[in-house]
Chain A
Amino acid sequence: MIDMILSNPGFIIILAGVVCALLPVSQIRKAILLIAPIFAGYMIYTATKDMEAARFAVSVGGQELTLMRMDRLAMIWGYVFCLAGVLNAIYGFHEKCKITDSSALIYMGAAVSGVFAGDFLTLFIFWEMAAISSVMLVWKGGEKSFPAGIRYLAIHVLSGVLLLAGAVMYGRANGGDFTFGYVGLENPGGCLLLIAMGIKCGFPFLHNWIQDAYPKASITGTVILSAFTTKLALYALARAFPGTDLLIYIGAIMTCFPVFFAVIENDLRRVLSYSLNNQLGFMVCGIGLGSELAMNGVAAHLAADVIFKGLLFMSMGAVMFRTGTAKASELGGLFRSMPYTTIFCLIGAGSIAAFPLLSAFVTKSMIITAALYEHEWIVLAMLLFASAGVMEHSGIKVPYFTFFSHDSGKRVKEAPVNMLVAMGLASILCIFFAWPWGGYQFLYSLLPNPEVHYSPYTGNHVVTQMQLLFAAMFAFALLKRIGVYPDEKRAEILDFDWTYRRLGKNIAIWIDAMWTRLSANVGRLRKRFIDSASDKIYHMFSPAGALSSAAPSGLPAVLTGSMLVLTLFVIYLSRL
């Protein structure tokens, strides 16, 4: 048992989460929250020394489950998750909530375990575990988050069920081999798997749970949520569908459409959720391209994205922690009271917009370059369009409306120290990952295909990227000056979730109303029929005089008789 727990770094974190659920002392819980991911990271480090020896499998009910499988693809995901865990632990240090602590650990542990899972059944277990534990974080967001949590859970359970169904179909077609490796779309199980992963990864039309649930979670909850679920799904895609052409186009669309929603959305945490979706699009596109460079780009951009997206969510969380809102229309001018948060947010915004010397510059460009090498011109154009869009919603809109813009008059305290430390660390990482003298080289040395050479700091790359960014900034300044840059207005923006939150609900209400009407009519008809047929029979079957209210023994007896007739009829037919 003990060697099973020690086999996979994620199990340690899950175990720590279970321990946390029982620990009443907040300080010890926080220490565990911090130490568990560090220890897991150390375990990943030791496991990478001999990747074959780290493999661990058990047999459950005749089915071999590979609980631990280490390779370079899994390694970087594991490291990134542990890093995110450490940052989240520091960020959430001020919060005394047992449920958040333990579910955060279990959730993180499930994500790490899922990354190191060697077969689809094991993956399914942690897939579901991640969903169930993370919904607690959503529910911690207050009254309003409860229905969102239910929707979140329903969608994720659906994803899990599809994953299991797809895995079983795939395994059957594969002769009972459930190995979590390349699947492709050749067999129908693969399609189900793709949909299951697509739901969790926020494919277009399947993405709404992100924007629905994340902004409604608690402050720390949103930060934690943003790091793991979609990234686990991305890992699964990178593992099972690298080089699937369909993903290129899905990814390209995914980069573009959230841009339009982000620009009109008022809730800045929801803007960041759209931005998250958009960044995932880059990575999905990279997986679709599937070349060694593209896969490297995916892994590198994942590492950068977890950090800078976490940083942005953290800064918005800090603002919300102090002001109580994250709505652009209510905020503004906060650089006067939260200068450190402003600086960190700007670093995050610069990173996501891919300024040189900030992390996305060295990572996103790998994916774009890979698209260029593959001569996918339309896709390339879409990615560049999306890059300009990123500059708008994350690079300019989020910091501008929060910290600059017109002064909202809100004078609050600077964020708590622990939040500042977490944001500071994340900012340092954002810079370090793009540091031309040893920084990005370190990041590249962790990528799945270390032999591929790519150097981000070439003249033409820096120049073209700066052209793009300066042009965007110029456009911003120009539009602002001539007064066509839209102000933020409070509103609920419709997205695809309208289909199930409004349309589906209304259809259900309509069906319910129709059903009530129908059953009333049927009831009336039945009553009239029975009345006209014979009062005697009516009274015979129902001594109390109410056939509908307390169904008498007569009805089951009649049913029994009819079942017998049916069975005998079937038997008779079988003899024909």
Chain B
Amino acid sequence: MDILSAYPAWLITHGAALLVVLPLLLGAITAILPRERLAWIVTLIVTLICTAAAFGLLLTIFGGETQLYKMGGWDPPHGISYVIDGLNTPVLLLISAMAVLCTIYGLPSVAAEVEPKKRAPFYGAFLIGVAGLLGMVATGDAFNVFVFLEVSSISTYVLVAMGASRDRRALTAAYRYLILGSIGATFFVIGVGFLYMETGTLNMADMARILSDLGGGSRAALIGFGFIIIGLGLKLAMFPLHMWLPGAYAYAPSFVTVFLASTATKAALYLMLRFTFTVFDPSFEYVGTVLTYVIISMAVLGMLLASLQAIFQTDARRTLAFSSIAQVGYMLLGVGIGTAASLSAGYLHLINHAIIKGALFFAVGAFWYRYGITRVEDFRGLSKMMPWTMGAFTIGGLSLIGVPFTAGFVSKYNLASAAASNGWWWAVGVIMATSVLAIIYIGRILLIAYFQDPPEVDGKVVAKKEAPLMMLIPMWGLAILSVVIGLNAYWMDRAADGAAQVLLLGVGG
């Protein structure tokens, strides 16, 4: 790898720890920085370094090596180890790259939505949240996962609540998110406790080994599994456990909404994959049963009902939020089917959806930034008032629907063919049906934006006012990326197939 040789060696060898430690420490410093611009620069630099490190790690993964980083030099199972393998590295890159884009976007957006005094702490909380997400993805220790889950969650509660200066309802939304998030984290830690009881270790690889020696374990492991699935299900907004999500997405600052939508639920989904497939094993009958009956039925219910709910929302952000819940259903369907192809498709959809939803929420944030609108009916004439932003929104929307030559098509097609090759034609039908529903809820917005004239104020048509460049860059970056993936998904497929390999073969520390 040519690019890899340009990397300093320490960035790769210590990359796993660096990814977590750097934003965590600098997040603490950023919080007390006196000037918001300074805080922004620090945030940008930190996230850029993380992205570079994650990219380097991904290259080593493509080079065929996995990495085990021992914290404090203690060997696993006793010490905490960080594992870098094909499953988590793409997610690491996704989180850090989205953090960079959000930071760029944040320069105008945070200035508009957060009180001046709170902006530096805002960036600090954001960095700590990034550190938490990266930590829970990188670590190979079950309890460490919980710690970082809490780190990221607490900082996200704060971030959501910061939307209060724009809309007071952010406070209740943050409160609900806090209550439910805590329930989720508690369930998770209870589950980990049961697992510790069963196996006597917290290291995931060790747990997996012991569990498979025990043939799935006794009742403690069973109950632990149930708790972990529900805890993580709450975090990733699995269908009936999604109730915290629409409020949190709708009232948080736009910056936070994008970041939450494209990373937080994805990291939780990664954890669900990690636990069900590498710590536990689908060949244990209870895991297989839960996948087939609970996960898939919830996935399908979520896809249908949340899509329907999305159609009836009046607020564009709530529409997109419900659409996110539906899209989580697609990913869970991929998980539930459990073949290599379906896992790969679900994983690919995880990444693609992060990109698509990122672009969409960026655009919606820009609409608010310029005209203060969030309701769908106020979108009229936006194609003329903000053509570029609306263009990015359109590409994102088409991709969400799954129009050919967009990222959404690739993953939906892969998922449908995986379901079909498993003989699950009804699942193909559900995918088709929800795509039609997606056409309705996205099409409704597009129709208003393109076919209605801009509103008039005092007899004059509202002036054209494009979003600032700092908002357009990340937005279009994601929109173009989703088309590029639609045209050539080679690297994406490779990453997703690698992840599916890890899940099925259990490669890793």
Contact = CB atoms under 8 A, between A and B. Distances in A.
Question: Are A and B direct contacts in the complex by CB distance below 8 Å?
Answer: yes
Interface in B108-130: none
A172 B419 CA distance: 12
A556 B243 contact: yes
A566 B294 contact: yes
Interface string A541-561: 000000000110101110110
A566 B432 CA distance: 28
Interface string B146-186: 00000000000000000000000000100110011001100
A560 B230 contact: yes
A553 B180 contact: yes
Contacts of B172: 550
Contact of A570 (B289, B432, B436): B289
Given A560-B183, A560-B230, A571 B176 contact: no
Interface string B205-249: 000000000000000001101110110011000001101100000
Interface string B175-203: 11001100110010000000000000000
A575 B183 contact: no
A169 B416 CA distance: 11
Contact of B187 (A124, A139, A172, A560): A560
Q: Which 8 A-B pairs have the closest CB atoms?
A: A574-B289, A556-B243, A571-B286, A553-B179, A567-B226, A568-B226, A574-B286, A564-B230
B240 A61 contact: no
17 contacts: A60-B488, A61-B489, A62-B493, A157-B436, A161-B435, A165-B432, A169-B420, A169-B425, A559-B241, A560-B230, A563-B240, A567-B229, A567-B230, A568-B226, A570-B290, A570-B294, A574-B286
Contacts of A560: 180, 183-184, 187, 230, 234, 241
Given A570-B290, A575-B222, A559 B428 contact: no
Contact of B244 (A139, A169, A556, A571): A556
Contacts of B176: 553, 556
Contacts of A575: 222, 285-286
A452 interface: no
Label chain A's interface by main secondary structure.
Answer: helix
B241 A161 contact: no
B230 to A, nearest CB: 5
Nearest to B242: A556
Nearest to A575: B286
B413 interface: yes
Interface in A111-147: 124-125, 128, 139
Contacts of B285: 574-575
A168 B226 contact: no
Nearest to B404: A125
Interface in A161-190: 161, 164-165, 168-169, 172
A172 B417 CA distance: 9
Contacts of A491: none
Given A61-B413, A61-B489, A61-B493, A563 B241 contact: yes
Contact of A571 (B179, B222, B493): B222
Contacts of B489: 61
Interface in A500-521: none
Given A551-B243, A563-B240, A568-B223, A168 B420 contact: yes
B283 interface: no
A129 to B, nearest CB: 9
Given A560-B183, A575-B286, 10 more contacts: A60-B488, A168-B428, A172-B420, A559-B241, A559-B243, A560-B230, A563-B230, A564-B226, A567-B230, A572-B222
Interface string B424-450: 010011001001100100000000000
B7 interface: no
Nearest to A556: B243
Interface string B275-292: 000000000011011100
A573 interface: yes
Nearest to A165: B432
Nearest to B176: A553
Contacts of B227: 564
A100 B488 CA distance: 32
B104 interface: no
B241 A168 contact: no
Contacts of B74: none
A139 B451 contact: yes
B31 interface: no
B268 to A, nearest CB: 14
Contact of A563 (B223, B233, B413, B417): B233
A60 B240 CA distance: 37
Contacts of B403: 128
A559 B240 contact: yes
For A563, A566, A573, the residue with the greatest tally of chain B CB atoms inside 10 Å of its CB is: A563
For chain B, the bracket of interface size reads: 35 or more
Interface residues of A, number: 34
Contacts of A550: 172
Nearest to A568: B226
A551 B416 CA distance: 36
A566 B244 CA distance: 20
Contacts of B229: 567
A398 to B, nearest CB: 33
B180 A557 contact: yes
Nearest to B439: A157
Contacts of B240: 559, 563
Contacts of B432: 161, 164-165
B314 interface: no
Contacts of B488: 60
Interface string A308-343: 000000000000000000000000000000000000
A573 B435 CA distance: 34
A55 B443 CA distance: 36
Contacts of B304: none
Contacts of B187: 560, 564
A553 B288 CA distance: 31
Contacts of A572: 222
A168 B227 CA distance: 39
B218 to A, nearest CB: 10
B500 to A, nearest CB: 15
Contact of A567 (B180, B243, B294, B414): B294
B421 interface: yes
A571 B290 contact: yes
Interface string B461-502: 000000000000000000000000001110001000000000
B410 interface: yes
A164 B175 CA distance: 45
B241 A556 contact: yes
Interface in B390-409: 403-404
Interface in A276-309: none
Contacts of A161: 432, 435-436
A568 B226 CA distance: 6
Nearest to B190: A564
Given A61-B489, A551-B243, A560-B187, A168 B294 contact: no
A553 B488 CA distance: 44
Given A553-B180, A556-B180, A564-B230, A172 B421 contact: yes
A60 B484 CA distance: 12
B289 A571 contact: yes
Contacts of B223: 568, 571
Contacts of A563: 230, 233, 240-241
Interface in B283-331: 285-286, 288-290, 293-294
A103 to B, nearest CB: 12
A571 B225 contact: yes
Contacts of B286: 570-571, 574-575
A61 B436 contact: no
B301 to A, nearest CB: 12
Contacts of A157: 436, 439
Nearest to B298: A563
Contacts of B293: 570
Contacts of A61: 410, 413-414, 489, 493
Interface in B241-264: 241, 243-244
